[in-house]
Amino acid sequence: VVVKAGTHIKLHARIEGYPYPSAQWLFKGEPLEQGDRYSMKTTKNSAELLVKPSLRSDTGRYHLVVKNLAGTRKAPINVKVLDRPGPPKAPVQFEDIHQDQVTLRWNVPADDGGTEVTNYIVERRLPNENLWRNVTSNI
């Protein structure tokens, strides 16, 4: 399951069993509790988890655990939440500095936003101005 940050994550599973099984949702091995961001609904035929709004930290493996007298079953569901990548890791290096150009070097961000970083946007601001201007968005 892949979603954009800020949207809802909705996980739905059909369940069967007699006696009707109980259902519990886990995230990274820990039980989830009903609350501000988590809503769980279980009927005799289905289990549903709603996470709202989604955050990058919601990326990971969820499990649905169903139990009754006949036994226990555990089903994994992988979720990836995509967002903007973080800033480049420090230090940003300024090399080959001239009046009208400079070479910049940086390391990839610690958080890539959930997908490969395909370009960077470089902006500049002159000392006597408040406005940032786009230098390039194709790096």
Q: Tell me which DSSP letter residue 57 carries.
A: G
Contact between 82 and 114 under an 8 Å Cβ cutoff? The reply is: yes
Per-residue pLDDT at 95: 92
- pLDDT tens digits for 30-81? 999 999 999 999 999 999 999 999 999 999 999 999 999 999 999 999 999 9
Q: Quick: pLDDT tens for 120-139.
A: 888 989 899 999 999 888 77
- Judge contact between 49 and 35, C-beta under 8 A: no
Angle at 86 between CA 82 and CA 83, to 5 degrees: 15
Do residues 35 and 27 touch, judged by C-beta distance below 8 A? Answer: no
Task: Give the predicted TM-score (pTM) of the model.
Answer: 0.79
